[in-house]
């Protein structure tokens, strides 16, 4: 039976509608969950295993404006004839700490073709103004997507094109419910987006780049702005897309709008995707970044929102950890970072109150 490479994700620390933070981690045959006992902590319950027979150790997590959490993964089960049945499944958690719904299958873009379905990549998910979107790399190296409407009805799988796509598709929705999707490929970064909330997700111009597999991420950095990041495959440096020129009526403006998208290095050599958080620090809109540095420690940087292309100043902290970090704002308005230690325990650090900028307090082992 084929097993997908576990792709680290960053969006695994989320605040529910009741204000409590929940952390999620994929595990063989299920999902591990930790939940604050009250908004703002510091006590947690867990680790609690949400058992799902056949679920692979890879997971995508998305949250709706109402606070509903969608867990999306790949399930693979062996038939009596020894063949592998592979499908994409999801469950919904409506309230913090409560059991999720039963896991439901949305099938495979390859239908009953077991051999091709076994070659699917790790799915990514986002929630737009209508419902849940799921995207996945297909067996041919392109991308397929399926979306749920406001009534909960799923559309058929759509071929979204693309080629030579690597592991690490990443999707995100703006606060207004507009989805953007990024796919690292061998010679490009492929992009899709909705121009209007609830509209079709369409291809936009490729970005010439050599992104590393499993290194892409995206985060909301403004009211209707998403910033995408990925690592250069050669040196592991963090890259982002340079601001695109605003359209203009002049000939010069038209030429600028037709210019090839450019990339910018923001420094910060490391591994895996970088966590992105839009937060208010000292009364200013800021973008907080957190990554696993080359040392294996957590590195954090802050930039003014809209200026993510500026070279970041990174500060390392904590102990070595595995996977990718996650960021959230807790019920008390503190920037909170979480990692999974090499011993498998959750570790959490929160912003010190009353200090300028972003200073993290002591790490808590959960």
CA 54, distance to chain mean position in Å, is: 23
For residues 200 and 17, give the distance between their C-alpha atoms in angstroms, rounded to a whole number: 28
Which range among 16-30, 93-107, 257-271 shows the weakest confidence by mean pLDDT? Answer: 257-271
77's CB contacts (< 8 A; 6+ apart) are 53, 54, 84, 85
Q: What percent of the chain has pLDDT over 70?
A: 93
Strand 364-365, strand 346-350: pairing = antiparallel
The β-bridge partners of 180 are: 172, 193
- Whether residue 178 is predicted with pLDDT greater than 90 in this model: the reply is yes
Q: How high is the pLDDT of residue 360?
A: 96
Phi-psi group of 200: left, alpha or beta (phi > 0 → left; psi -120 to 50 → alpha; rest → beta): beta
Q: How high is the pLDDT of residue 339?
A: 97
- Whether residue 210 is predicted with pLDDT greater than 90 in this model: the reply is yes
Q: pLDDT tens digits for 110-129?
A: 999 999 999 999 999 999 98
- Whether residue 251 is predicted with pLDDT greater than 50 in this model: the reply is no
Question: pTM to 2 decimals?
Answer: 0.93
List the strands of the sheet with 346-350, edge to edge.
321-329, 335-341, 346-350, 364-365
Q: How high is the pLDDT of residue 99?
A: 94
DSSP 242-278: PPPPPP-SSHHHHHHHTSPP-EEEEE--EEEEEEEEE
- Whether residue 252 is predicted with pLDDT greater than 80 in this model: the reply is no
- Whether residue 340 is predicted with pLDDT greater than 50 in this model: the reply is yes
CA 302, distance to chain mean position in Å, is: 19
Which range among 72-81, 100-109, 231-240, 241-250 shows the weakest confidence by mean pLDDT? Answer: 241-250
Structure confidence at residue 267 as a pLDDT band (50, 70, 90):
confident
Instruction: Choose the most confident range, by mean pLDDT, from 255-269, 306-320, 352-366.
Output: 352-366
Which range among 151-160, 248-257, 349-358 shows the weakest confidence by mean pLDDT? Answer: 248-257
Choice between 4 and 152, residue whose per-residue pLDDT is larger = 152
Q: What is the mean pLDDT of residues 167-175?
A: 94
CA 112, distance to chain mean position in Å, is: 29
CB 338 within 8 A of CB 330: no
Average pLDDT, the chain: 90
Structure confidence at residue 257 as a pLDDT band (50, 70, 90):
very low
For residues 134 and 148, give the distance between their C-alpha atoms in angstroms, rounded to a whole number: 9
For residues 270 and 288, give the distance between their C-alpha atoms in angstroms, rounded to a whole number: 16
Instruction: Choose the most confident range, by mean pLDDT, from 50-54, 153-157, 233-237, 254-258.
Output: 153-157
Q: How high is the pLDDT of residue 325?
A: 97
Three-state SS annotation for 319-359: CCEEEEEEEEECCCCCEEEEEEECCCCEEEEEECCCCCCCC
The hierarchical CATH code for the domain 13-241+263-365 is: 2.130.10.10
293 closest CA partner among 256, 318, 258, 311: 318
Three-state SS annotation for 45-58: EEEEEEECCCECCC
- Whether residue 80 is predicted with pLDDT greater than 90 in this model: the reply is no
Q: What is the mean pLDDT of residues 147-166?
A: 94
The β-bridge partners of 241 are: 263
């Amino acid at each position: 039976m084929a097993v997908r490479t576990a792709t680290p994700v960053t969006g695994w620390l989320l605040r529910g509608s009741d204000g409590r933070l929940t952390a999620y981690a994929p595990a063989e045959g299920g999902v591990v969950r930790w939940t604050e006992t009250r908004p703002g902590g510091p006590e947690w319950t867990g680790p609690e295993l949400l058992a799902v027979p056949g679920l692979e150790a890879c997971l995508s997590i998305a949250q709706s404006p109402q606070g509903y959490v969608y867990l999306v993964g790949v399930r693979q089960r062996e038939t009596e004839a020894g063949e592998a049945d592979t499908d994409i499944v999801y469950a919904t958690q409506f309230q913090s700490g409560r059991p999720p719904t039963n896991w439901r299958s949305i099938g495979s873009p390859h239908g009953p073709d077991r051999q091709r379905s076994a070659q699917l990549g790790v799915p990514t998910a986002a929630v737009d103004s209508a419902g849940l979107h799921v995207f996945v790399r297909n067996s041919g190296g392109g991308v397929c997507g399926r979306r749920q409407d406001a009534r909960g009805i799923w559309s058929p799988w759509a071929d979204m094109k693309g080629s030579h796509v690597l592991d690490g598709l990443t999707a995100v929705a703006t606060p207004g419910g507009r989805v953007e999707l990024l796919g690292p490929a061998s010679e490009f970064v492929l992009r899709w987006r909705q121009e209007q909330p609830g509209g079709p997700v369409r291809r936009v111009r490729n970005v010439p780049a050599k992104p590393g597999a499993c290194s892409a991420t995206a985060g909301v950095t403004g009211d209707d702005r998403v910033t995408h990041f990925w690592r250069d495959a050669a040196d592991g440096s963090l890259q982002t897309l340079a601001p695109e020129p605003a359209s203009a009526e002049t000939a010069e403006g038209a030429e600028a709008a037709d210019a090839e998208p450019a990339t910018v290095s923001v420094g910060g050599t490391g591994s895996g995707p970088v966590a992105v958080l839009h937060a208010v620090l000292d009364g200013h809109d800021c973008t907080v970044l957190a990554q696993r540095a080359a040392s294996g420690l957590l590195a954090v940087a802050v930039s003014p929102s809209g200026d993510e292309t500026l070279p970041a100043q990174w500060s390392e902290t904590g102990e070595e950890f595995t996977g990718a970090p996650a960021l959230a704002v807790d019920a008390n308005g503190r920037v909170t970072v979480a990692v999974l230690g090499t011993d498998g325990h959750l570790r959490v650090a929160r912003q010190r109150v009353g200090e300028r900028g972003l200073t993290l307090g002591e790490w808590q082992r959960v």
